[in-house]
Structure 1
Amino acid sequence: MAGEKHAPVTVIGLGAMGAALAEAFIRTGHPTTVWNRSPAKAARLMEKGAVHEAAVEAAVRASPLIVTCLTTYDVTRRCLGPAVEALAGRTLVTLNSGTPQGAREMAGWAAEHGAAFLDGAVMSVPEAVGAPDTLLLYGGDDATFGDHAAALRALGGDTVHLGAEPDSAALYDSALGGILLPTLLGFLQGVALITARGRPASSLAPYAAAWLEKIGAILPALAEEVDTGEYGDPASSVGIFHDGIESLVRDSASEEGASIDVAWLAPVQDLLRRAIADGHRDQSISVLVELLRRPGRTA
C-alpha cells in the first residue's frame, strides 16, 4: 500500500476523538468505514460519506487499515473479539490511552491473530485532528509504518515514527502526559492568587502563555545536561528553586487578601530538600532526574 494516498480505512470507536479521526480520513479522500457500539454515533459521519457497518467483523473486512480509538487496550480487544479472524493480513493501529506494557501486550495479541501492528498517540484535542501542526506519535515495525504513512498523515501533519518498538508511542505519551497536570496546577495556583485579589483569570493567561514559551526554550539545554550527565554549570540551580519554593509556601498563607492552598507542592519541596541533602544545591535543576530515577530514596 505504499504510495496509496487514498487507501480504504476503517475506524473503530466513534467518541469525540474517533469521530474526528474518521472525519479527517473522509476529508482527505479515503474511503472510510466506521463502527461503534452505539450505531447512532455513525449518523453524522454517514452524511459526510462514511460507510457504517453494524457488525465489527464486516467493518474490519472492509479495509486493509484498521484504526481503533477506544478507551483502553482491553476494551479494544473486547470490541475486536468477534472480528479476530478478519484481522489476518491487515494492519491494526491503536490510538488509545494506556501504558507501554499495555502496548506491548496489544502488539502480541495482534501478532497472534496475523495482523501487523502500530500503536499511536494523538497529542492534541479532537478539534485539531487533521491540522498541519497536529502531532501524532507512532511505534511499530518500520515497514508497516512506511506502508501506511501517507494515510496516517491525514490525521495530522506532524506525524512521527519513533521506531520499531511497539510501545514507543505509549512511552512518550506517558512521559508527556506527566507534564500536563503539574503545569495546569501551577497555572491554576496563579489564577487562585489573582482572582482572590479581585482580578480576572483572563488577565493572567497571556503572561502565563509567554512564560511557558520561555520555559519551552530552555528544555533542549536541560535535556543536553541529562544526556551528558554534566550538571555543574547551571543557569538555574537546585538551590534557587529550593529557596524560592520554601518562600512561596511560607508566604502563600499570609498573602494579603489571598490565602492560597499550596499543599500540592509538598512532594516537590521534599524532592528539592533531598537534592540539597545529597549535595546538589549548586548544580542545575536538571540533576533532579537522578533522584527521580531512584524513587523513595532518602538522604
Structure 2
Amino acid sequence: MPTRPIHEPRRDDCPWCGAPGPRTRLRAPDLRHGRPGTFTLDECRACTHVFQNPRLTPEGLALYGAAGTVWRRARRRDHRGTGRAVRRYCPEPESWLDVGTGDAAFPAAVKELFPYTSFDGTDPTERVTAAAEEERIEEAYVGHLGRPGLPRRLRGRYDVVSLLGSLVRAPDARAELRAAVDAVRPGGYLVLELPDPDSAWASLLGKWWHAHTQPHHLQLLPLPNVRAELEGTGCRVLEEDRVTAHRPTDLSTALDLRLGRGLPTPLARALVTTAHATDIALAPLLSRTPFTNTYRVLAHKPL
C-alpha cells in the first residue's frame, strides 16, 4: 500500500525572503525521543531566517509524535513577567487570544493579573479543547491560526493576541503572524516571544541548544525580520526586550538532552537540577550580553 511522503521537497531558496542558496546551519537527530532520522536546519544568507530543510509534512510530524517539552517548560517559568509587560500598555483588556496555547498554561498563570479578561486559545492539538473543558480558557480553536478554515469572527476581535514561542512550530510563520495581526482589534496589542537564533548559546551548544530541538521546530525567526513584518502590516513596535525576556534554561536543557537515557534517572535529575541552578545564577550576568536566548516584542495596531 503506498504511503504519503514524510518530507516536503528540499528548498533551494529561503521561505521567508526568497533569497537563493541557503547554507546549512546544523544537522541533528531527534534528541528528545530518539526516533530515527536526521534533520537539517538551513540558514538564509540574506535575512538569516533559519528553517528545517527538507521540512516534515503534516504526516511526518504526526509520525514523529507530539513535540517535546523543552521549550514549553522553559516558557512556563515566567509567564507572569510577560503579563506584566503587557499590563504596562493595556492594563484591563476585555479579550485575549493566546496562539499555540496548548493546555492554556499562560492564561492560567496570568489570570490573577487580568481577572476580568476573557481568554481564548488556539492550538494545533486537541489539548486546547481540554483546556476549555477545564475552564482555563473560554473558547478553543483547534489548528494553526494562519490556516484556512478558522472562524472569520476572530478577525478584529481581541484587545491582545499573544504568540509565545508558537511561531517556531507554525507551518507558515508569516501567515500565522499576519493572522494574529488580523485578530487584533484596531487599537489593540500583540506580544510575541521567540527564541533568538542570534543568541551566542546557539553557536556554543549547537544541536543541544533547546531552540534547535528537532524535528518539531520548523523555523527560527530573527528579530529584525519579525519587526519588519509587523511594521509592514501597519503595526507600531512599542518595545523590544532581550533582557527580561531571557530564560535561564540553556545549560540545564542541553544537559537534559545530552544525558537522555544514558544515566540512572536520579543521578541525571540531580545533574540537570545543578545545571539549572547554574543557569539561574548566571542569568543576571548574561541577560545583557549576546548570550540572551529570547526576545519579546510588543506592538500596537493603530486605530
Q: TM-score range by the shorter chain?
A: 0.3 to 0.5
Greater relative contact order, per chain length (Cα 8 Å cut-off, separation 6+): 2
TM-score (norm 2): 0.39
Where is the strand percentage greater, Structure 1 or Structure 2?
Answer: 2
TM-score (norm 1): 0.40
Could you say which structure has the larger radius of gyration? Answer: 1
